[in-house]
Amino acid sequence: MKSESLSPVVEAWLERFDQVLASGDRAALATLFEADSYWRDVLALTWSIDTICGATAVVDALAEASGRMAPRGFRLADNRTPPRRVMRSGQHAIEAFFTFETREGLGNGVLRLTPGSEATANPKAWTLLTALDSLTGHQESVGKARPKGETYSRDFHGPNWFDLRCAAREYADRDPAVLVIGAGQAGLATAARLTQLGVDTLIVDREERIGDNWRHRYHALTLHNQVQVNHMPYMPFPPTWPTYIPKDKIAGWFEAYVEALELNCWTCTEFESGEYDEAAGCWSVTLRLADGTRRTMRPRHIVMATGASCLPSVPHIASLPRFAGRVMHSSEFQDGDAWCGRKAMVIGTGSSGHDIAQDLHSSGAAVTLVQRSPTMIVNIEPSAQLPYALYDEGPSTEDCDLITMSIPVPLAKKSHQTFTARARAMDKPLLDGLERVGFRLDFGEDDTGWQFKYLTRGGGYYFNVGCSDLVAEGSIGLVQYADITEFVAEGARLKDDRIVPADLIVLATGYFGQEALVRKLLGDAVADRIGPIWGFGHGLELRNMFTRTAQPGLWFIAGSFAQCRIYSKYLALHIKACEAGLVPPRLSEETSCSTN
């Protein structure tokens, strides 16, 4: 059946859905969903990010949310990918984009009907995404709503644009509504979204220049996924850019991004501490400025955009002080040239460990990689790119982002099990070679692969850009950490009494998560109130990410460029809705699915 003929099927479902939601007829609503259906809402009807599974729970939650938000006008979206047949998570479905409105704004979403629905009088939904797209009366200042600039362009005696920008950045007579900590992709994307919504936002970053969080990383670093997946909000990368973007190109783009989008950013600024004033509904924070002075600010919101991995994790190794050479954490490593002709040991076999080992090897060092735990290895092409195939199918980035959001976690796991199995088959020669030299392989919990390793623990995998080949062929040595009995002045002593010599030991041992940074900056009470950040808890959403937390006025965003591009929109809309007094107290999450 041709794609064009699927529109009447989808329109019929949306029309019926619109009618029964308005009527409150739960029995009729139940006939529209498969027994194993899923509904994911992103702010539109629940003011939360939540996934409901099972027709009974979906119907109950939809009926309750409909009473509060009065959704209506469900119809096929204009100017988006038309309804089409797709394969998602191993299942055939009819996939369509739709729009609707609520009491507070406009929404959009993705509907998937079960195959064969066009042949029935009552098509049924397998998955449903409803997402807030804009707030009525609080739209972004983009396109036809862009600023006109009339004041400073026609008043020759008043301040011009540059004067106004300088005054806005100084915060001499005001505090920002939102303080964003961190000027990486998460912080910049969030600040850009908030700024376009008219929310006064200041970014602070401890580095000297915007982009230094990429610029100062090791010399050979490039992004490990392809350019089309990594665009920033409002300013996609130029079509001339390379498929894999070098770190310094990203750093320069970040500087241009801040200037082009008129974001307020203070560099060389350290967030020292913060305390929430319940009565005033705002924070009191202390910032240490570039000149060493301190500034107290009272923002209503703090957005922690410091990454899923924050503080370096340096393990206590009792015998390591005996080592006579240089010891550094991977966060300190920049370039291997200084170690040409010398011996280096890299402890840790995640992405940083492999990349640093390869950098040292290419610089002329003799390198030994030390493996502490099993690691997933996947060739960067084509295997590691399998999850991103959607972004090459033809739909716009905006459509791909909405599709990505619309896949519930249980279905996403099935997809990634398939990707992992395909990658193992494609990479079999490399994986066999690694196992022959004693490298221990892992493919994630339930074989869900690297993506879920990232979402649950922030690492534990490596996209092979050559280091694994060097290990498999023996050009880079391999030692299991369990075989090291102690460190001595010359290097590491093994169980068989051999010494692995080293002049340098790099601890590629990862980072503590954001909760450690929260405890350091905001105190034990706030950290305990919030609980774990990142990973999956009892529900089907990342814990404390992109939405309200148990601590008023504290928000978190982290992740890949794509995650930050997608979820910065909803975090900014949520904050804007709070500022506008539209958001009720937190709603119960008892209807959420369990991961058990």
Q: How many CB atoms lie within 10 A of CB 436?
A: 10
The pLDDT, as a whole number, for residue 117 is 62
The pLDDT, as a whole number, for residue 586 is 59
| Alpha-carbon distances, residue 271 vs 175, 422, 520 (angstroms) | 15, 45, 11
Domains of the chain and CATH, by start? 3-135 (3.10.450.50), 162-310+512-579 (3.50.50.60), 314-509 (3.50.50.60)
Position 491, amino acid: G
Strand 91-101 relative to strand 72-76, pairing:
antiparallel
Asked if residues 269 and 212 have their Cβ atoms less than 8 Å apart, the reply is no
The pLDDT, as a whole number, for residue 595 is 36
**Average pLDDT along the chain, 596 residues, taken 10 residues at a time:** 73 96 94 96 96 96 94 96 94 96 97 79 91 93 77 69 90 97 97 97 96 86 89 96 94 97 97 96 96 96 86 91 96 90 97 94 97 96 90 91 96 95 97 98 94 89 95 98 97 96 96 90 96 88 95 96 97 97 64 38
What would the two tokens of residue 238 be? Answer: 């130029």
The pLDDT, as a whole number, for residue 1 is 41
Q: What is the pTM of this model?
A: 0.91
| Alpha-carbon distances, residue 544 vs 201, 248, 530 (angstroms) | 21, 31, 8
The pLDDT, as a whole number, for residue 588 is 38
Q: How many CB atoms lie within 10 A of CB 509?
A: 18
Asked if residues 461 and 378 have their Cβ atoms less than 8 Å apart, the reply is yes
Which residues partner with 455 through β-bridges? none
Residue 10 and residue 490: Cα distance in Å, rounded? 70
The pLDDT, as a whole number, for residue 93 is 95
What would the two tokens of residue 236 be? Answer: 């996609």
Can you spell out the DSSP letters for 62-89?
HHHHHHHH--EEEEEPTTSPPPEEEEET
